[in-house]
Amino acid sequence: MSKKKILFIAPYPKNEAPSQRFRFEQYLDYLSENELDITFSPFLDSKTWKTLYAEGNILKKAIGVMRSFIKRFFLLFTLHKYDKIFIHREAAHIGPPIFEFIIAKILKKKYIYDYDDAIWLPNYSETNASFHRLKAYWKVKYCVKWAYHVTPGNEYLANYAKKYNDKVTIIPTTIDTINHHNLETDYDVTKPVIGWTGTHTTMQYLDFLIPVIIELENDYDFDFLIISNEAPTYNLKSMQFVKWNHATEIHDLAKISIGVMPLEQDIWSEGKCGFKGLQYMALGIPALMSPVGVNKQILDDKVNGYLVNTKKEWKDCLISLLTNKELRKKIGQAGKQTVIDRYSVIANQAIYLNLLK
């Protein structure tokens, strides 16, 4: 029997965007090993991806995006050979849902639609603020409506999908605990490390925590590590910066003794899938997370992590963990087991396989 042919359509090149890497890319080898013929088709090529999020180069950006649209157009002529199509977030990085419409309504092909953020809400970097209207955030409703099946990352996102489609399966953003997040933090370090990882677009959430870090610096010896694609501008004597690098990502994360994930209580944060916290937990790092959205489902407060709200709560919990390595280990190991049981690739790979087979 011939293998079923599955086409994965995504906005970004492979191994670049966290939403793709931890939503579906880490399952591709497993799916290929289980009698599926996988083809991956990003909208942006690597060259355009690197140009798009840099300042300036408007002409290069325009040429790269135009090249991407042409490539997408020719892809339509190959869709007849695929048994199923999986679309992550959008078929094209900007503009209305033209390709989704053609796929579903003209070519009559069934597609699975996957997303892991409240992408129907405007959210953009300052670098491309003047172009954000081209994103056509309104198109998400139609991408959901036309889909054969929808796979949002959490309950909040699923509730949005259910307004337009009754075939909805929640698949959490997951961690590969075997091949990727397979190190563990060192509980015996003499100088603990409070750490945060994320992109420059989410670094604003740290602003709330900086006054707490400054207060702690007066009485405790620790490093405050930020892992990001851009350097922070905070003036902290404890701060260390490591530029995010795919090759060293897990090694850098494992340096963290206490992982922090502050968020604001808003509709965008409600749609987040708690991935930052899950990364910490997978490495046995005790996670401190704002009680927003799916974080309240991931964590059982004071059991496998901490749900902290006020500055006083953040400070008290950080002091407890900075001064007690046994507590760091107890909470960290409980968090790691939570990831293995509920948020790992192993725990969720059968869901993907069943959907696509």
**Cα–Cα distance, 134 to 98 (Å, whole number):** 13
Q: Helices (DSSP H) in 76-138: which residue ranges?
A: 98-101
In a domain, 322, yes or no: yes
pLDDT, tens digit, 9 for 90 and up, residues 16-38: 888 899 999 999 999 999 999 99
Provide the total of helices (H) and of strands (E) in the chain, helices listed first. Answer: 15, 11
Residues 302 and 237 in one domain: yes
As beta bridge partners, residue 305 has: 301
Are residues 160 and 38 part of one domain?
yes
Is 353 within a domain? no
Distance CA 280, CA 292 (A): 17
Same domain, 29 and 116: yes
Q: What is the CATH number of the domain that holds 309?
A: 3.40.50.2000
Residue where a domain terminates, one of 108, 141, 171: 171
Helix 345-356 / helix 325-342 crossing angle, nearest 10 deg: 20
Task: Please say if the pLDDT value at position 199 is more than 90.
Answer: no
Claim to verify: residue 22 and residue 164 sit in the same structural domain = yes
The string of pLDDT tens digits covering residues 272-311 is 778 899 999 999 999 999 999 889 999 999 999 999 999 9
Q: Are residues 160 and 280 in the same domain?
A: no
Q: Is 350 helix (H, G, I), strand (E, B) or coil?
A: helix
Same domain, residue pair 120 and 248 = no
Q: Is residue 176 part of a domain?
A: no
Same domain, 10 and 155: yes
- In the prediction, which pLDDT does 265 show? 76
Any domain includes 185: no
**Same domain for 141 and 229?**
no
Considering the domain architecture, whether residues 44 and 146 belong to the same structural domain is answered as yes
Query: How many separate domains does the chain show?
Result: 2
Encode pLDDT of 44-77 as tens digits. 998 888 887 677 778 888 898 899 999 999 999 9
Same domain, 13 and 154: yes
The answer to whether residues 73 and 98 touch, using CB atoms and an 8 Å cutoff, is: no
The values of phi and psi at residue 253, to 5°, are -65, -35
209 plus 155 within the same structural domain: no
Domain termination residue (choose one: 171, 204, 225): 171
Residue 123 clears pLDDT 80, i.e. is over it:
no
What does the pLDDT look like over 324-339, one tens digit per residue?
999 999 999 999 999 9
What are the E-state strand segments in 170-269?
193-197, 223-228, 239-243, 258-261
List pLDDT tens digits, range 201-234: 889 999 999 999 999 999 999 999 999 989 999 9
Q: How far apart are CA 265 and CA 136, in angstroms?
A: 24
CA–CA dist 214, 122 (Å, integer):
33
Q: How far is CA 51 from CA 54, 92, 123, in A?
A: 5, 17, 19
Token representation of residue 356: 């696509």
Asked if residue 92 lies in contact with residue 99, where contact means CB atoms within 8 angstroms, the answer is yes
**Strands 193-197 vs 223-228: parallel, antiparallel or unpaired:** parallel
Which of 115-129, 149-163, 209-223 has the least mean pLDDT?
Answer: 115-129
Residue 348 is assigned to a structural domain of this protein: no
Count the Cβ atoms, other than its own, within 10 Å of residue 238: 18
End-to-end CA distance of the chain: 13
Domain final position from 171, 205, 232: 171
Same domain (yes/no): 295, 242: yes
The side-by-side arrangement of strands in the sheet containing 258-261 is: 239-243, 223-228, 193-197, 258-261, 287-289, 306-307
- Domain span at residue 35 reads 4-171
In a domain, 187, yes or no: no
Over the chain, what is the mean pLDDT? 92
Q: Is residue 45 part of a domain?
A: yes
Does any domain span residue 272? yes
Going by the DSSP 8-state scheme, the letter that residue 105 receives in this structure is: I
Q: How far is CA 162 from CA 98, 137, 138, 149, in A?
A: 22, 18, 16, 11
